[in-house]
Amino acid sequence: MISVLAGRPAVRVAVIAAYVLLVEWARALVSTAPYVATAALILGGVALVVSGAGWPLERLGIGKSRLGFRILGGCALAVVLLMPAAARANAAPILPAFLALPAVVVSIGEEIAFRGALYAALEDLGGAPVAIIGSTALWTAAHALSHPPEFLFAVAAAGLLLALWRWACKDLVGPIIGHVLADLAL
């Protein structure tokens, strides 16, 4: 099975994309049920992390080289992601404390799934442009059930920004840090 996936990039993309979309949509639907929101978010985040299994860390964009640059890049990404909300701080939602851990797990899971595994699989299939556009499109589709339609353009733009960072800096640590900080702040 693994050898078939390794030899056929298109099949690998389809399998990872289907898995990630299934996890994201299931998480969005299950988390609306009473008493299970926190568990659904954490399990969904962990399930997304699993999508990175089998990939070398460097293919996912994870590494210790240039760590200072990666961490600072994540902080800079968080600034960009949060700036529109900070400019209207009075209308910014407040994340309850009990959602902090789920937010961290989901953020890490989403980055490993979309800008990590999916990006790498799409890059193998058609190069960087396919990886950037494809991961952004799937990221937007994955949020269709958890977000009101009017937010999807902003979701797509955030996905594009994070995918461009992944491409330009060959780095996933920055997007992970930026995404986690942005989720914790809101």
Partner 1 sequence: MNRFVLLAGGAAVYMLAAWMVAPGFYDGFTPQQPYNWVCPPVHISGNLPPSSGHLVIKVINGVSDANSAFTDDGQVVIGFLPGAFDVTGKTSITVDIKPVSPCPKPSGLTFAVNTYLISADAPLVKKANLVMRYSDIVPAPSKVYRATSADGPWASIVALNEAQPFTIDTTTDQFGYFAAGYPSNADSPGGSSSQVLPIVIAALIILVLIAGIPLAMMRRRQAPDEGEADGAEP
Residue 52 touching partner 1 (CB under 8 A): no
Residue closer to partner 1, measured from CB, 121 or 139: 139
Out of 66, 130, 137, 141, the residue judged to bind partner 1 by CB under 8 A: 66
- CA–CA separation, 182 vs 83, rounded Å? 10
Using CB under 8 A, which of the segments 14-22, 46-54, 84-92, 113-121 binds partner 1? Answer: 84-92
Q: Which of 22, 25, 16 is nearest to 112 (CA)?
A: 16
Out of 106, 112, 118, 176, the residue judged to bind partner 1 by CB under 8 A: 106
Residue closer to partner 1, measured from CB, 5 or 164: 164
Residue closer to partner 1, measured from CB, 7 or 68: 68
Residue 81: CB atoms within 10 A of its CB come to 23
CA 1 to chain centre: 26
Out of 14, 46, 50, 92, the residue judged to bind partner 1 by CB under 8 A: 92
Give the alpha-carbon dihedral of 97, 102, 106, 108, to 10 degrees.
80
Ramachandran quadrant class, 93 (left: phi over 0; alpha: psi -120 to 50; beta: rest)? beta
Residue closer to partner 1, measured from CB, 116 or 178: 178
The Cα-based distances of 171 to 47, 66, 82, 103, 164 in angstroms read 22, 10, 20, 21, 10
Q: Which of 179, 154, 155 is nearest to 166 (CA)?
A: 179
Residue closer to partner 1, measured from CB, 11 or 85: 85
Contact residues toward partner 1 (CB under 8 A) are 28, 32, 34-35, 37, 41, 65-66, 68-69, 72, 75-76, 78-100, 102-103, 106-107, 143, 146-148, 150-151, 153-158, 160-161, 164-165, 167-170, 181-183, 185-186
